[in-house]
Structure 1
Amino acid sequence: MIDVEVIRARSLGDIRHGFLGRRGGVSIGATAGLNVGIGSRDDPAAVAENRRLAAAAVSPGAPLLTLYQTHSADVVTVTRPWADDDRPHADALVTDRPGLSLGILTADCAPVLLADHDAGVVGAAHAGWKGAIGGVTDATIVAMERLGARRERIAAAIGPCIARASYEVDEAFLRTFTAADPANERFFAPAREHHHQFDLEAYVANRLAAAGLTRIEALGLDTYADEARFFSFRRATHRGEADYGRQISLIALRDD
Structure 2
Amino acid sequence: MRVRRVITTRDGGASTAPYSSFNLGDHVGDAPDAVAANRKRLAESLPNAPHGPVWMEQIHGRNAEIVDGPRTEPVEATDALVTAEPGLVLVALVADCVPVLLADPDAGVVSAVHAGRVGSRIGVVPSALAAMRRAGASTERVEALLGPSVCGECYEVPAAMRQDVEEHLPGTACRTRNGKPGLDLRAGLWRQLAEAGVSRIGVDPRCTVESPELFSHRRESTTGRFGAAIWLEATG
TM-score range, shorter chain: over 0.9
1:170-212 CA deviation, whole Å, 9 max, x = no partner? 112112124436x54x63126668x412211111111111111
The residue correspondences of 1:65-76 to structure 2 (distance < 5 A) are 65-76=54-65
Q: 1:178 to 1:188 in 2, by over 3 A?
A: same
Q: CA deviation at 1:15?
A: 1.1
Matched, 1:188 2:174: yes
Aligned to 2:72: 83
Correspondence 1:198 to 2:183: yes
Cα-to-partner distance string for 1:8-51 (whole Å, 9 max, x where unaligned): xxxxx941211112122111110001101110211111101111
Equivalent runs, 1:49-198 vs 2, <5 Å: 49-59=37-47, 60-84=49-73, 86-180=74-168, 183-184=170-171, 187-189=173-175, 195-198=180-183
How many angstroms apart in 2 are the aligned matches of 1:207 and 1:128?
14
Percent identity reads: 35
Listed as ranges, the gaps of 5+ residues in structure 1 are 1-12, 238-242
Q: Is the 1:17–1:58 Cα contact (8 Å) retained in structure 2?
A: no
Whole-angstrom distance in 2 between the partners of 1:192 and 1:220: 20
Partners of 1:16 and 1:58 within 8 A in 2: no
Name the counterpart of 1:245. Answer: 224
Distance 2:94 2:58 in 1: 10
Q: Which residue of 2 aligns with 1:4?
A: none
**Structure 2 CA distance, aligned partners of 1:31 and 1:244?**
5
Aligned residues: 234
Is the Cα contact below 8 Å between 1:64 and 1:103 reproduced in 2? yes
Query: SS of 1:94's equivalent?
Result: strand
Maintained 8 Å contact 1:58/1:250: no
Provide structure 2 residue ranges, at least 5 long, that are not aligned to the other structure.
none
Deviation at 1:255, TM superposition (A): 2.0
Alignment of 1:16-31 (within 5 A): 16-31=4-19
Answer whether contact 1:93 1:123 (CA < 8 A) is retained: yes
Greater share of helix? 1
Letter in 2 for 1:51: R
